[in-house]
Amino acid sequence: MAKLSRPRLAGVHPRERLFVRLDQCLEHTAVWVDGVPGAGKTTLIASYLSARKRPAIWYRADSGDSDPAAACHYLQVAANAMAPQLAGALPALAPMQMDNPGPFFRRFFGIFYTCIGSARFLVVDNSQEALSSVSFRTLLLAAISEAPQHIGVIIVSRSRPPGDFARLLANGELVVLGADELLFSEDESIAVQQLAPPGAKTRSAVQMRRLHEVTGGWAAGLKLLLQLENPDSPAAASGQLASETALLDYLAGEVFDRRSEATRSFLLRVAHLPYMTPTTARLLGNSADAARILEGMHGDNIFTSVHEVGGEIHYEFHPLLRRFLLVRAGSELPAAERDRITRQAAALLAESGDVEAAAQVLIAGCHWDELQRLLVEHAASLLDRGWYKTLSTWLDALPEDRVTGDPWLCYWQGAALTPLDTHLVQEWLQSAYCLFRERRISDGSFLAWSAIVDRICLQWADFSQLDHWLDEAESLRDAFGSPPDELAGRFAASMCGALLFRRPQDPAIHRWADRLLSLIERCSDASQRILLGCNLQIHYVVGVGLTVELDRLMKTIDCPPGTALTPLAEVLLWALRSMYLWSRGRSAEAAAAAENGSRLARASGVRVWDGLLGALLAYALLNSGELARGRAALNRMEKCLDPVRKIDVAHYHYLACLASLLADEGAQALTHIEIANAIARRYGGPQQHAR
């Protein structure tokens, strides 16, 4: 994987002056290396690690790292390569953690550094590509703050550290190796001449000093001028090659235009790939000489780097060169040919498994048909991996009418926005449901219905909305019969939740509960069993008091220590344990389980179950007569209440009423129960009414 491979160097001058500075900087936890494009940042760090024989994980950031789940996935791949025996040890980011990922990142890097073992470095190259993302900056902060003494962190960027890093800079955990320090000294510029291959034109010391003056010590400018046939040419004598704009001009006149027509045509085509193997370059560039051309550019230091990935060579143009080539392609190639090349480049990337890069190529080229097909094909797997932000970014790139007119795209947009918890989620899901029904797409109809109902049940905001969707379920089953087998469990769980919270008196709830319990017992995924069993357990404990079925359910969903669970399921399991113990009259154990769940929720950042855990703790303490501790738990619960979650608010007032009754405070009890019932009459179901 090119993203995780250190560039292979060719003819690099060892900059001992900066190596010593890096040694000094890395006495601190982390160093931030910043410099303009072409300053030699990546080459400096790669050559330093080679010269000092330091093992490192090399992570090249890109815009896709604004999705925290994607960034964690690639870091997990890197850790697994270092310690295959610990594969699966790193946690995955849950949707409910994305709003506040800091606690998750700290836990993640604590485990990550344990996995990668002995003294080594974590290098985050090209980090400016994702620094605009708050979650990526939070990830970098955690990477630094959690690094143990034997781990050094190196961040490479075109910009200086943002304000988020002020505390780390102030306390000395992070230091900066700045742009001015990266400029070549005159001696270093002269020394570069010694790296010229045999037979290459050489420059005198006077000419090299002149090149140093012209470039101002800028590595990219020096590299280009060393390619000139005539060291005293106007380009070298102009004194104007110390900027990116001038470099692009000279790339045209002194590098590109001097190549053969076949080579120029090849370069204009392969520049549409963010990176290439000899095979993909040959196919896209339509040249049997692809490997020779690319290796020659790398060997001559013409803005071409090489990475070795799993025994395969990957070439990559420097962003300055690639941008120049794409601009030239836009002016020299017919539009129809550019479109064909872009589509072929995306297809080659997708075939190689790099779907994210394929999508970026299609987005840049505005190829919406191909992007839409790619999205529909891979949306489910992106969500399974937790890449909500990536999926949402792809969908946002499409013209709006394409999304609003396609039921699957509407559904995926709603699903992708779920971690943001906005009203748009419900709007997209409802649009998807209507389109699925109009077009008689059965699996999509059941899927969208379940997503809508699950969201209403999870929000604890307005259960009255469930009336419409329970009626709609009858229409859905009349139209299509039973849901497909792969959706049966989810649909049954959604039906149970909807009936429990709105129509618990409906006899159908028992039939759906029996069906769901059977499906849970056959489910092989431990996390899925817990999530499916949540509302069913509430039904057994609060609704009907079926102890045999409750025991069957708890036996199925409870897990031994060490079982791999998603953070969402892990926190919920403690809540379900607490509820089960409370139903058995084991109040002290129930309180301990609720407190364990709350501690885990704070550590992991999964706060969706805070209201449930707080209520369970209060139930356990008040039922055991511990009024003072019960009221303390209620005070904590009140501080965490979200006014949007109106059923949580009603639940709090119900518990506050119970506490007031135990304290013989009748007036306060009446006030609390009137508030609870007023909310329940407007937003709840029979289960929320106190009688």
- Please, what are the domains in the chain? 2-182 (3.40.50.300), 187-256 (no CATH)
> What number is the average pLDDT over the span 169-187?
88
| pLDDT for the residue numbered 516 | 94
**Cα–Cα dist 678/130, whole Å:** 48
Q: Note the pLDDT tens digit of each residue in 164-173.
A: 999 999 999 9
- How far, in Å, are 145, 146, 391, 689 from residue 509 at the CA level? 50, 49, 36, 19
| pLDDT for the residue numbered 213 | 74
Q: Which two tokens stand for residue 480?
A: 């299509």
More confident residue, 354 or 302: 354
Start-to-end Cα distance in the chain? 63
Query: Hunting for tokens 């993302």 — which residue is that?
Result: 133
Place 570 in a pLDDT band, splitting at 50, 70 and 90. very high
**Cα–Cα dist 124/152, whole Å:** 11
**What is the layout of strands, in order, in the sheet containing 304-309?**
7-8, 304-309, 312-317
120, β-bridge pairs: 151
| pLDDT for the residue numbered 179 | 83
Q: Note the pLDDT tens digit of each residue in 257-312.
A: 778 899 999 999 999 999 999 999 999 999 999 999 998 888 776 778 888 877 78
Q: Which amino acid is at 621?
A: L
More confident residue, 396 or 39: 396
> What number is the average pLDDT over the span 182-207?
70
| pLDDT for the residue numbered 208 | 76
Which three-class secondary structure state does DSSP give residue 406?
coil
Residue 240 has pLDDT above 60, yes or no: no
| pLDDT for the residue numbered 249 | 66
Residue 205 has pLDDT above 70, yes or no: yes
Q: Note the pLDDT tens digit of each residue in 474-490.
A: 999 999 999 998 899 89
| pLDDT for the residue numbered 565 | 86
> What number is the average pLDDT over the span 549-577?
92
Place 14 in a pLDDT band, splitting at 50, 70 and 90. confident
**Cα–Cα dist 493/519, whole Å:** 10
**Cα–Cα dist 514/200, whole Å:** 81
> What number is the average pLDDT over the span 585-591?
96
- How far, in Å, are 274, 380, 543 from residue 375 at the CA level? 20, 9, 42
**Cα–Cα dist 543/236, whole Å:** 85
**Cα–Cα dist 139/59, whole Å:** 13
Long-range contacts formed by 674-677: CB under 8 A, 24+ apart: 675/650, 676/650, 676/651, 677/650
Highest mean predicted confidence (pLDDT) among 95-99, 195-199, 615-619 = 615-619
| pLDDT for the residue numbered 196 | 59
Q: Which amino acid is at 223?
A: K
Place 364 in a pLDDT band, splitting at 50, 70 and 90. very high
| pLDDT for the residue numbered 239 | 44
**Cα–Cα dist 622/619, whole Å:** 5
Q: Which amino acid is at 67?
A: D
**Cα–Cα dist 657/673, whole Å:** 6
| pLDDT for the residue numbered 241 | 47
Rg, the chain, Cα only: 31
Q: Could you tell me if 616 and 651 are in contact, meaning their C-beta atoms sit under 8 angstroms apart? A: no
Query: What percent of the chain stands above pLDDT 70?
Result: 92
DSSP state of 255: I
Q: Note the pLDDT tens digit of each residue in 487-498.
A: 998 999 999 999
> What number is the average pLDDT over the span 404-430?
91
**Cα–Cα dist 567/564, whole Å:** 9
| pLDDT for the residue numbered 237 | 44
Q: Nearest CA to 269 among 249, 252, 255, 290?
A: 290
Q: What's the length of the chain?
A: 691
| pLDDT for the residue numbered 558 | 95
Alpha-helical (H) ranges within 352-387 are: 355-365, 368-384
Which bin fits 572, alpha (ψ -120 to 50), beta or left (φ > 0)?
Answer: alpha
- How far, in Å, are 234, 236, 317, 563 from residue 288 at the CA level? 36, 34, 19, 53
> What number is the average pLDDT over the span 589-604?
93
Least confidently predicted of 33-42, 237-246, 587-596: 237-246
Least confidently predicted of 305-309, 430-434, 589-593, 649-653: 305-309
| pLDDT for the residue numbered 137 | 97
Residue 238 has pLDDT above 50, yes or no: no
Residue 318 has pLDDT above 60, yes or no: yes
Which distant-in-sequence residues (6+ apart) come within 8 Å of 482 by Cβ? 488
**Cα–Cα dist 673/184, whole Å:** 75
Q: Which two tokens stand for residue 498?
A: 């909807």
**DSSP symbols for 627-657:** HHHHHHHHHHHHHT--TT-HHHHHHHHHHHH
Residue 197 has pLDDT above 60, yes or no: no
**Cα–Cα dist 453/463, whole Å:** 10
More confident residue, 358 or 221: 358
Mean confidence (pLDDT) of the chain? 88
**Cα–Cα dist 65/586, whole Å:** 47
Least confidently predicted of 205-214, 274-283, 535-544: 205-214
> What number is the average pLDDT over the span 415-433?
90
558, β-bridge pairs: none
Long-range contacts formed by 243-247: CB under 8 A, 24+ apart: 244/36, 244/37, 244/38, 244/220, 244/320, 246/221, 247/38, 247/220, 247/221, 247/320
**DSSP symbols for 532-572:** HHHHHHHIIIIII--HHHHHHHHHHH---TT----HHHHHH
Predicted TM-score (pTM) of this structure: 0.82
> What number is the average pLDDT over the span 91-102?
84
Q: Could you tell me if 122 and 151 are in contact, meaning their C-beta atoms sit under 8 angstroms apart? A: yes
